[in-house]
């Protein structure tokens, strides 16, 4: 970690720190879109003070309605190497900036947000606020903006050669009383980041560490604004830690740029953020169904795969996607795109057979961008120059993960084209989706990328964007723009455009279960709509109760996958094929059926989530109830869309404590109504958890007998009304994700028109019909 100070009074040992001490001059652009501030690093009280004095340039620009960028620069002559985030991919919205001068200072307005530079003499203070001044967002105040050099130079002339020094830029935004900070990618620690030191650097560290697979330089405050840091390199964050009242952002560079994004609501912030970095991609209906994996190091072949799928079918648990993990290829050959001929002698035929028999709809296979030396692909890629090189021209290799592995050079267009050709070969065999694993361990020292203009440090995190983009576009080209599905681990800002992501390597413990939920919540508030995790945990052997509690949560994620490391995740292997109602098999069947039945609601909420850059699930309670202070500290429960709240259970006993915000909430399982705000305690068997429907909800449910996630969401449905009032509605979407109509509640509390529905339609006016439900037991305690 980079620390600038030793406590409040002293600078850190060996660190020279200079701050912008005043705004000496303000230069405005004629179009009123931007201002440039000249900021000396000490107060200029006489003409002589301007000599031998470093300055910092602070550039402010109106970027779009509600968004202002701020960039601090020391030496402007430094190269601004790539890669750069692909911003405004759908085009930058037009904005008419405005500069206003008053007694309070000079203000740059950008639609609903503004920044005011204080007019007080010899002062550095930038206040970000709503244009109508109803809300102060944050400030860059006294000694908040500057640069640092280490080691401390004994003579200024030493800095004529910066090769022996590290030069950092920093910005410190103010944290107000009661402010909390959330996001920064998929992080598994406390959801509120205040008090944490966070390094944004993609790492393969599992879910029980402060490292993250998906580092996203965007965070959101509960005070109505967000901050996007426009740098894909290594970013050091001190969030109410080094300075308890500030969020400090530090990078090794000569410039640092960030965007202040106004809400005022969290949903407004995410909508603007997704306009800046890209809206989430759309996924097909089949992808929401259950995914079943071979697991990682388990022993399997064609016979094993068939037996798993037949076993799931016999237990009334339809599998939408079957996933072949690493060992579909031979050991020491990953990733050469060649099926192990001994275990899978006819992969194309096998895939066709399991689909034709109805055992699954789609097939996914595992890949990564690392090319092992002993695989057939390595020699070809090496000869063609498709692999990353060292500075002396050697291919960059090491023995971590795969013996002698090289790394696909994604900056080489010919290498990317070759990789796509390899993917096309898989598609020809019947593969429909790709798991893009790894992509975090990207070297930064002694490397030479094909594109010589890129900075290796900035390529480390950004590699995940290009890698996933290459695979996603190949899927789109083969299957259609809205039919592409990958399953990615490494990500950064913008990767929400290439769905979907999963949470990485978690242990089979209740603590890791909770870690996964925090990771999903954190990624969701970082602009990602779709997320999954390894149900039951990846590492270890989940005890049956952990498996079943995780199944309940996992089938309420946007996407649901059973996957493990060295043990299978088919339910009968977890509990010796317990055939009772409380066994793993029947528990999985119940929750899979529930998700299938919720598909009319899920697919409609997905469309809304994509449009707004919102998480479908796991969605923080705070996104729906931003004015509830408690909601900003809830990290053990989540929303599925905007209308359904779920509280996972972490105890074998089934005891759970959960929070319901203001309003009336109806239990999905019993139709019991509770009133919030308040905390509640319940005890559940394995077939239920606290699943509450928000008041004023029109919930469309598929037919109970419906198997799978792809069907007609208007036929033979049940429409359940939950504490509705006039105007309550449900938007109906077909299984292609296209809006086809809506159901609206009239003045009499009934639906005004149901002609869009077909078949045997049931209208339930006080929650859903419980006829046909198996007996359940939920008690309060």
Question: What positions carry a catalytic annotation?
Answer: 437, 440, 505
Residues 6+ apart with CB under 8 A from 283: 482, 484, 485, 499, 500, 530, 559, 606
Helix (H, G, I), strand (E, B) or coil at 705: coil
Residue 106 phi, psi dihedral angles, 5° rounding: -105, 125
- Helix ranges (H only) for 338-455 are 347-356, 376-384, 413-428
**Which structure tokens are listed for 716?**
């033979």
The H or E element that residue 603 is part of is helix 599-612
* Residue 101 CB coordination number (10 Å): 12
Residue 706 phi, psi dihedral angles, 5° rounding: -70, 125
Region of 118 please: left (phi>0), alpha (psi -120 to 50) or beta. beta
CA angle 433, 438, 444 (to 5 degrees): 140
**Which structure tokens are listed for 203?**
């790492």
Q: Please give the Cα distance from 298 to 554 (Å, whole number).
A: 22
Q: Packing angle between helix 413-428 and helix 456-479, nearest 10 degrees?
A: 40
Q: Please give the Cα distance from 113 to 108 (Å, whole number).
A: 9
**In terms of Cα–Cα distance, which of 549, 779, 553 is closest to 670?**
779
**Which structure tokens are listed for 499?**
């769905």
C-alpha distances (whole Å) from 193 to each of 171, 180, 199, 288, 772 are 17, 7, 12, 30, 45
**Which structure tokens are listed for 106?**
């000079």
Is the preceding omega at residue 83 within 30 degrees of 0, hence cis? yes
- Helix ranges (H only) for 385-485 are 413-428, 456-479
Please give the order of strands across the beta sheet that includes 145-150.
16-19, 145-150, 166-174, 246-252, 235-239, 196-200
């Amino acid at each position: 970690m980079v620390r600038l100070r030793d406590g409040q009074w002293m600078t850190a040992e060996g660190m020279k720190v200079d701050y912008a001490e005043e705004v000496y001059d303000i230069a405005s652009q004629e179009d009123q879109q931007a201002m440039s501030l000249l900021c000396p690093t000490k107060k200029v009280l006489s003409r002589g003070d301007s000599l031998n004095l470093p300055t910092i340039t602070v550039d402010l620009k109106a970027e779009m309605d509600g968004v202002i960028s701020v960039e601090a620069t020391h030496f402007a002559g430094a190269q601004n190497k790539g890669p750069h985030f692909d911003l405004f991919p759908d085009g930058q919205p037009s904005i008419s900036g405005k500069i206003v001068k008053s007694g309070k200072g000079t203000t740059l307005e950008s639609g609903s947000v503004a920044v005011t530079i204080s007019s007080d003499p010899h002062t550095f203070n930038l206040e970000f606020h709503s244009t109508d001044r109803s809300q102060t967002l944050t400030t860059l105040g006294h000694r908040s903006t500057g640069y640092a050099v280490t080691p401390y130079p004994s003579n200024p002339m030493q800095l004529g050669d910066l090769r022996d020094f590290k030069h950092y830029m920093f910005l410190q935004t103010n944290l107000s009383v009661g402010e909390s900070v959330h996001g920064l990618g998929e992080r598994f620690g406390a959801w509120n980041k205040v008090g944490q030191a966070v390094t944004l650097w993609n790492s393969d560290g599992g879910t029980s560490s402060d490292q993250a697979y998906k580092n996203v330089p965007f965070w959101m405050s509960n005070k109505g604004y967000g901050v996007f840091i426009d740098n894909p390199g290594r970013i050091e964050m001190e969030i109410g830690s080094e300075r308890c009242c500030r969020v400090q952002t530090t990078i090794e560079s000569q410039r640092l740029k960030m965007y202040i994004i106004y809400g005022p609501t969290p949903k407004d912030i995410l909508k603007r953020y997704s306009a800046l970095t890209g809206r989430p991609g759309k996924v097909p209906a089949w992808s929401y169904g259950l995914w079943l994996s071979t697991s990682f190091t388990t022993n399997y072949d064609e016979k094993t795969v068939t037996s798993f799928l037949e076993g799931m079918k016999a237990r009334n648990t339809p599998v939408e996607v079957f996933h072949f993990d690493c060992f579909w290829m031979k050991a020491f050959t990953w990733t050469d795109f060649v099926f192990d001929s001994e275990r899978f002698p006819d992969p194309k035929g096998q895939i066709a057979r399991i689909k034709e028999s109805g055992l699954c709809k789609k097939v996914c296979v595992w890949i990564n961008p690392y090319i092992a030396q002993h695989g057939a692909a390595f020699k070809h890629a090496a000869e063609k120059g498709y692999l990353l090189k060292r500075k002396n021209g050697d291919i960059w290799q090491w023995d971590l993960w795969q013996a002698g592995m090289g790394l696909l050079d994604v900056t080489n267009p010919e290498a990317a084209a070759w990789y796509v050709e390899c993917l096309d070969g898989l598609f020809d065999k019947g593969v429909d989706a790709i798991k893009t694993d790894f992509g975090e361990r990207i070297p930064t020292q002694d490397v030479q990328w094909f594109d010589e203009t890129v900075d290796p440090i900035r390529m480390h995190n950004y590699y995940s964007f290009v890698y996933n983009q290459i695979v996603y576009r190949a899927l789109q080209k083969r299957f259609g723009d809205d039919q592409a599905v990958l399953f990615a681990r490494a990500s950064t800002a913008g990767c929400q455009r290439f769905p979907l992501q999963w949470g990485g390597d978690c242990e089979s413990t209740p603590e890791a279960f909770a870690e996964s939920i925090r990771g999903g919540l954190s990624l969701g508030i970082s602009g990602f709509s779709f997320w999954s995790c390894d149900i039951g945990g990846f590492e270890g052997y989940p005890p049956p109760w952990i498996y079943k509690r995780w199944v309940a949560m996992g089938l309420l994620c946007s996407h649901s996958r059973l996957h493990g490391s060295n043990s299978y995740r088919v339910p009968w292997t977890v509990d010796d094929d317990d055939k009772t109602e409380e066994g793993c098999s029947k528990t999985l069947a119940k929750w899979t059926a529930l998700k299938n039945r919720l598909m009319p609601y899920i697919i409609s909420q997905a469309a809304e989530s994509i449009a707004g850059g919102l998480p479908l699930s796991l969605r923080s309670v705070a996104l729906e109830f931003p004015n509830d202070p408690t909601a900003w500290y809830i990290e053990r429960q989540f929303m599925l869309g905007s209308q359904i709240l779920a509280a996972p259970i972490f105890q074998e006993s089934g005891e759970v404590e959960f929070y319901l915000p203001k309003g009336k909430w109806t239990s999905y399982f019993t139709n019991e109504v509770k009133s919030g705000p308040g905390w509640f305690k319940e005890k559940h068997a394995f077939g239920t958890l606290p699943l509450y429907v928000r008041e004023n909800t029109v919930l469309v449910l598929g037919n109970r007998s419906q198997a799978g996630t792809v069907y007609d969401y208007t036929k033979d449905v049940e429409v359940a009304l939950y504490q509705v009032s006039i105007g309550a509605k449900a938007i109906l979407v077909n299984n292609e994700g296209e809006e086809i109509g809506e159901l609206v509640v009239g003045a009499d509390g009934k639906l005004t028109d149901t002609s869009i529905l077909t078949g045997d339609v049931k209208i339930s006016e006080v929650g859903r019909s419980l006829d046909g439900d198996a007996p359940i037991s939920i008690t309060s305690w």
